[in-house]
Amino acid sequence: MIGAKQRFFYCPKCGGKLRYQLQAEQQRLTCQACSYIHYENPIVGVAAIVMNEAGHLLLGRRKGGAYKDLWCIPCGYLEYYEDVYVGIKREFKEETNLDIEIKRVFTVQSNFHDPSCHTVGIWFLAEVCGGRMQAGDDLEELDFFPLQSVPRLAFPTDQTVIDLLAQEVNNGTIE
């Protein structure tokens, strides 16, 4: 338990009350009626890094919610039954209308900025292979930015990723 604020109160199996109980040396949300343990695991997020010929990074401006008008590397959540490589292509298509080919995993990071929903993000390096760019789904606008001067970002981890990216570009490990 990090920060130990209870986020779930009823058992998803039987509706009984969930309470933290010690299970194998960890405090776990345990159903008081059926003993079901509600494990709290991070959700998997996927994001794709696309750069243009000038080495500028594609970012999207978010449409609504807490992150309205802040920018992010196009991203989304994996569906439960979805393969991770299928998921990133689907999310990227929904948000940018672009088809991508995945080159490789760039980095994997834990995101703790939202205490109500911890995620593990996978950032892929990708190349556009089709489609006409148009913002959709969670995004209102798309644009390319130099790595050294990006607009205000929605998620702090995107800044970490952009810093890593700038380092690799400097080192020549990414063209």
Q: Which residues bind Zn ion (CB under 5 A)?
A: 11, 13-14, 16, 31, 33-34, 36
Q: Which positions are annotated as active-site residues?
A: 141
Contact 82, 14 (CB under 8 A): no
Cα dihedral 146, 150, 155, 161 sign: positive
Dig out the tokens for 57 from the structure.
Answer: 């990074």
- Tell me which long-range contacts 28-34 makes (C-beta under 8 A, separation of at least 24): none
Q: Min. distance of Cβ 43 from Zn ion in angstroms? A: 22
Q: Residue 39 burial (CB < 10 Å; 0-12/13-18/19+)?
A: exposed
Nearer to Zn ion, 34 or 105 (CB): 34
Q: How many CB atoms lie within 10 A of CB 157?
A: 23
Q: Min. distance of Cβ 29 from Zn ion in angstroms? A: 10
Q: Min. distance of Cβ 17 from Zn ion in angstroms? A: 9
Nearer to Zn ion, 33 or 84 (CB): 33
